[in-house]
Structure 1
Amino acid sequence: MASIIKNRAIVNDDWTVVRPAEDGSLPPVNELPAGKVLVPLALWQAEREALSASRSAAEIGVWLAPDSEPADIAGDFDKLALIGVDFPVFRDGRGYSIGRLLRERYGYKGELRAIGDVLRDQLTFMFRCGFDAYALRADKDFDDALKAFDEFSVQYQGAVDNPSPLFRRRAAAAAAAADEVSA
């Protein structure tokens, strides 16, 4: 069984990622593998009723391509166990924006999984954008990848994990210290 990193731990992955065929065609719902499936947004949009009728919400997830619009899935959060975001190549950063939009604009609270060409160097940044699960590329070392989460002790920018940028955190700490001195 394959593994993923979820909530900073290596766990078994019991999901099957369904990809379109080389010609772009999507498989029929009755030919999907048994168990939990992570289907492309296009298949979900075309076969939402059939998928919901054939499986429980705990067995259905949808993955978004880099050019997908997160708003297209926002009304379906209660019907899905997880949302995946595909990173087809390392240099394609559109998935980071999709993660932030899902968390910040649309309020998605469930599992947000990075799939595709996911490498150790991306994990901290993905985490800051709201991802909590990572399907590393098959040739990568999971134990080494876990170390990525502890490499940076300070982040300058605000993000999903801490919306306040460093200058505001420092100003708040200075104001609190001044209040403590004057009290």
Structure 2
Amino acid sequence: MPNIIKLDGSVHNDEWQVVARPADGESLVVPEGPALVPVDLWLAGREHFADRSDIGVWFEGHDEPETLDGLVNELPLIAVNFPKFADGRGYSIARLLRERYGFRNELRAIGDVLLDQLQFMKRCGFDSFALREDKDPAKAARCLNFFSQNYQAATDNDTPLFRRRAS
């Protein structure tokens, strides 16, 4: 199982299985145990998952977070896929889920997640990270806290530095 990095830099085994989108004409097969299904398929079959507290969803960059408006906190975990490191749409999805839709549970970055992105993902509201397989999870703690102060307000601190210094 791949490793998951938490905000404190600790490394954990990933209990959650990401369920790939089925090919055309195939049905969604959800395994036993914790699973992440595509958000649109969860919405389409929500009644089938009502008795399972171990089902979360994952977003692609083109998925809209408002599809979960009013439903976000029914989910124990939401993951956002970064298909390549240069695709920044996942940062916006994370901020919207946290700030506009009030998601309080675990928000995970999956896909092409690199060490140098962790600090910025944390600022957008992610609290767990599935690093790309070729990256060293032992270096994650340093990368999560690379900067001691941030100038701008963000999900992790809504007061900009000039206001923090003034008080």
TM-score, L = length of structure 1:
0.84
Residue 120, structure 1, aligned to residue 119, structure 2: no
Amino acid at match of 2:39: L
Equivalent pairs, count: 166
Structure 2: segments with no counterpart, 5+ residues: none
User: 1:117–1:136: 8 Å Cα contact kept in structure 2?
Assistant: yes
4+ runs deviating over 6 angstroms = none
Amino acid at match of 2:2: A
Task: For 2:37 and 2:160, locate their aligned partners in 1 and report how far apart those are by CA, in whole Å.
Answer: 36
Question: Among 126, 142, 150, which residue is 2:145 paired with?
Answer: 150
Q: CA deviation at 1:47?
A: 1.3
More helix by share: 1
* Residues 27 and 161 of structure 1, relative CA distance in 2, 3 Å threshold: farther
Residue number in structure 1 paired with 2:35: 37
Residue number in structure 2 paired with 1:130: 125
Structure 1: segments with no counterpart, 5+ residues: 173-183
Q: Which has the larger radius of gyration?
A: 1
Residue number in structure 2 paired with 1:20: 21
Alpha carbon RMSD of aligned pairs, Å? 1.6
TM-score, L = length of structure 2:
0.92
Map Cα deviations across residues 15-47 of structure 1 (whole Å, 9 max, x no partner). Answer: 0001124x4x48534x32221110111211221
Task: For 2:136 and 2:26, locate their aligned partners in 1 and report how far apart those are by CA, in whole Å.
Answer: 32
SS of the residue 1:75 aligns to? coil
